[in-house]
Amino acid sequence: MKQRTLLTWLAAALYFVAMIGIPTAAFSVATFGDAQVVMAADDDAAADDGAKKESLLMWTYRSLGPLYSFVFLGISFALVAMGFKYYMQMRPAVNIPADLQAQFEELVTNRQFSEAYELVKEDDTYLGRVLAAGMAKVASGYDKSVAAMEETSDDISMGYAQGLSYIGLIAAISTSVGLLGTVHGMIMSFQVIATATAAPKPNELAGGISTAMFTTMVGLVVSIPASCLFLFLKNRMDRIVFEAGTISEDLIGKLLAAASKK
């Protein structure tokens, strides 16, 4: 558990560094040639300009401001933590273990029904819980057993779906925060225009426009992976539910067939 927590925090840190560092690197590469031309033309002027220049990383932070920076950082950490949690939790091998199927079939074939029930009752996997619910109703017939398994499967899948909905919520929130920052930044720029006694300089408007653009960009950088992750995990959950239902019904059918033999 400690190792998973450490990996979660490490992944979140790497995600945030990539989110800021990749645009920084791209901007640096794009402007490198222009910087060389300026330095060749006038070394003294370039030196003065370099003293005034600001790195894209610091410009990004200043444009976002402490509020948006910490909001997006918190959203990014939440996305990585929940994504890692449900990715590990929704692996087919974890929910539908092959060794459980093999042991259950072997016990049923040997007509060790009590041992088979104890096996699935003590198993906390998706398949184990579904089979335990079905075996509890097996005396009432196949249809009752299948109905009990479907009810248990619905309860488990609902818990998964509720957890995944938070990832979808993150995708929506990050886009909304980006839109809020866009409106906020444009209001800041219009405020400069409205309160200026003369025509405002471009650098006076740049602060608000930068806030508008950077919040939109970071919001999309968080929202797009969150949406993809949500759909990926949802499809995986649907597959697990389908496979667990098919396998459990087949195993219960084999149990009833073995029980009917004399």
Contact 134, 148 (CB under 8 A): yes
Contact 245, 175 (CB under 8 A): no
Angle at 72 between CA 68 and CA 73, to 5 degrees: 115
- Nearest one of 99, 103, 154 to 129, comparing CA atoms: 154
Q: Where are the domains of the chain?
A: 63-260
The confidence score (pLDDT) of residue 54 equals 66
What tokens appear for 143 in the block?
């249809």
Burial class (CB in 10 A: 0-12, 13-18, 19+), 115: middle
Say if CB 123 and CB 129 are below 8 A apart.
yes
What are the structure tokens assigned to 12, written together? 């979140």
List for the chain the helix, strand, coil content (%; round to 5).
Answer: 90, 0, 10
Phi, psi of 5 (to 5 degrees): -65, -45
Residue 40 confidence (pLDDT): 35
Per-residue pLDDT tens digits of the chain, which is 262 residues long: 444 444 444 444 444 444 444 444 333 333 333 333 333 334 444 444 444 566 777 877 778 888 888 999 999 999 999 999 999 998 999 999 999 999 999 998 888 888 999 999 899 999 999 999 998 888 888 888 999 999 999 999 999 999 999 999 999 999 999 999 999 889 988 888 888 888 888 777 888 888 888 899 999 999 999 999 999 999 999 999 999 999 999 999 888 888 887 5
Residue 43 has a pLDDT of 41
| Structure tokens belonging to residue 228 | 């993809």
Q: Which amino acid would we find at residue 66? A: P
